[in-house]
Every structure is written in C-alpha cells, then in structure tokens.
Homo-oligomer: A and B are copies of this chain.
Amino acid sequence: VITILTGGTGGAKFVDGLRRVVPPEELTIIVNTGDDHEWWGLYVSPDVDSITYVLANMLSNERGWGVRGDTFHCLQAMKELGEPAWFSVGDRDLATHLLRTKLLAEGRTLSDATAHISQKLGVRSRILPMSDMRVDTHVDTPAGDLSFEEYFVKRRYQDPVKAVRFVGAAEAVPADGVLEAITSAQAVFLAPSNPVTSIGPILAVPGIREALKATSAPVVAISPIIGKAAVSGPAAGLMVAQGIEVSISGVAAAYSDFLDVLIADLADSALAESLASNRPQVHCTDILMRTAEDKARIARTVLTLALPEILAEPAAEAQ
C-alpha cells in the first residue's frame, strides 16, 4: 500500500498521476480537512471532494476543482435569492455536498460519508479524511481572522498573512486507519501541496507527525516550490508568515524530522547540491504537471525512487 498526504490542486494532480500508474486499490489518500466549511447550510470538504473526483475520473481539469462539465444553475439562483455566491458549487457537485450533509446529520462520521460517496462513484482507492473531528484553518490578516476559504476563494489570497492557526487541531484525533496507513505503508508520499494550509493541518493532528517519524517506509515529498515561488496558489505568503523559507530548502526544513527524499525541480539543482550533506536527500526532475503525461511521468519517478521494485514490470496504464 502507498499512502499519500494531500490537499489542494497540486495534490489532486499528483494523485491523478499515481492512479494512472498504480492499481488504485494500492492507494490510500489522507486528505486535509482544514478547508472544510459550511456553505448554504451544507458541509463542504473541498480537498476530499477533489481527491474523490480525480479518482472517479470526474474532476474538471480546466478548473482543478469540481465536476467536469458541471453547470452552475443553482448557484445562479442562490445569487438571485440574495445569498452569497463567492464559493462556486456546481449542480452535480451539489449532490456530493447534499449527500454528505445528510449522512453527517444521520450521525455518520466524515470517514463513513467519504467512503460511502467514493464507493458510489466507483473509486477503488481508500480516501481518509485526516480526522473525523473539525479542524478549521484560520488565516489571520489585517482584514480580520478569515476562514481558509474566505482567505483563499472569497478574497483571492490578496491579504497579507499575519498568522495561520488550526483551530481544533490540538484536540483532534486522526481518523480511523490514518496512523496505520502511514506506519504500515510501503511508501509514504507528500503531494506537492501547500506545506502550510494543505499538509500543515494534517501534521497538526496529534499522532500523525509521530507516525511519519516512526514509519519504516520511505517518506518522499514533491516540492510545491520552484525557485522562490509556489507552483500555484498562496503557498509563498503563507510560508513566510509561518517562518518557512520559500525555497526547497524551506520545504526540506519544514519536513526535516521525517522526510527521506525531496523531489525538486531541475531549476533548483544548484540549491539541491548545496543541501546534499543533510537529510532529506534531494532528487531533481521536471516537476511541473501540465498534462496527463507529466503527471504519470512524475508518479513513475517518485515510485522508482521510493519503491524501485514496484515498477520492475511495466504496468498497464489506466486512462
């Protein structure tokens, strides 16, 4: 079993690559839920949804979130009813939120709801929310204390970031199966996700970081940073606010207590060499994922580094 820690659009792209080169039954994905929020009275779990949709081959590639080819008629009607409309929910996407909210209202856990929905959509990988308890990522800015989605979507991450907090993390426990998925994995991958608000909330759940240190599996991260900038999204500003250098060096330092290998871009080869004496080991390749071929190639590179034997026989690539 290969276990992936993920969040955000970079994470979904990486998982998209893996599902193309590994039998999906072999993948367990531990997903950030710090972005979860209530919208129109429904429980929305953006990162869980993106991973579910990508594994169900339903994710919109253009948008990087939501359902491919979805319409937005309910959203338009909500707008006309005077309701907030800054968080885009498609009509098909809405079904996922409705069903999850109903299952949670019936007393099911987020893990149960996630398993139920992904199974109905034909997903054969295992998707685990990091915790069944609420952990809310808050971004403290001069404009106030914002929920992650307010900061990221509503205000398009334009506010200077003073601090990031994971409200509820200290009291949270990992969802069933999360620790075991890390300790019993053949390999653990950290997707090229924002280290602060995608991987950060996962690591803030007590026990998960310890499991990463304890596991005998190789732990491999793909850098979300190339040079001095994030491949996409608000990672750079958030890293600065958390005192993390915006470079592969900063990423390596943030994960230094458990990371074995960092996959960096070829553009960072010089810096990679200067880091050579320390853990983690740094391996450079082209890490930009533009096409399905890019995604599969990176997945194969990561697998080869972590589990040379797994790719010994050429796998039939999935669509």
Contact = CB atoms under 8 A, between A and B. Distances in A.
Interface residue tally of chain A, by bracket?
Answer: 20 to 34
A120 to B, nearest CB: 5
B102 A81 contact: no
Nearest to A40: B98
A211 interface: no
Interface in A40-94: 40-42, 67, 70-71, 73-74, 76-78, 80-83, 90-94
A102 B70 contact: no
Interface string A95-117: 11011011001000000000001
B102 A40 contact: yes
Contacts of A91: 71, 73-74, 77, 91, 94
A83 B97 CA distance: 13
A96 B78 CA distance: 8
A42 B99 CA distance: 11
A137 to B, nearest CB: 23
Contacts of A318: none
**Protomer copies:** 2
A152 B93 CA distance: 29
Contacts of A120: 80-82
Contacts of A101: 41
A23 to B, nearest CB: 24
A121 interface: yes
B74 A95 contact: yes
Interface in A108-152: 117, 120-121
B117 A81 contact: yes
A102 B70 CA distance: 24
Given A94-B94, A95-B78, A102 B71 contact: no
A67 to B, nearest CB: 8
A49 to B, nearest CB: 12
Contact of A77 (B42, B80, B95): B95
A56 to B, nearest CB: 10
Among A41, A82, A96, A99, which residue has the most Cβ atoms of chain B within 10 A? Answer: A41
Contacts of A92: 73-74, 76-77
Contacts of A105: 41
A173 to B, nearest CB: 27
Given A73-B92, A91-B91, 18 more contacts: A40-B99, A40-B102, A41-B98, A41-B102, A70-B73, A71-B71, A73-B91, A74-B92, A74-B94, A74-B98, A77-B92, A77-B93, A77-B94, A77-B96, A81-B95, A81-B117, A82-B120, A94-B94
Interface of A: 40-42, 67, 70-71, 73-74, 76-78, 80-83, 90-96, 98-99, 101-102, 105, 117, 120-121
Q: Which 6 A-B pairs have the closest CB atoms?
A: A77-B95, A73-B91, A41-B102, A77-B92, A91-B91, A78-B95
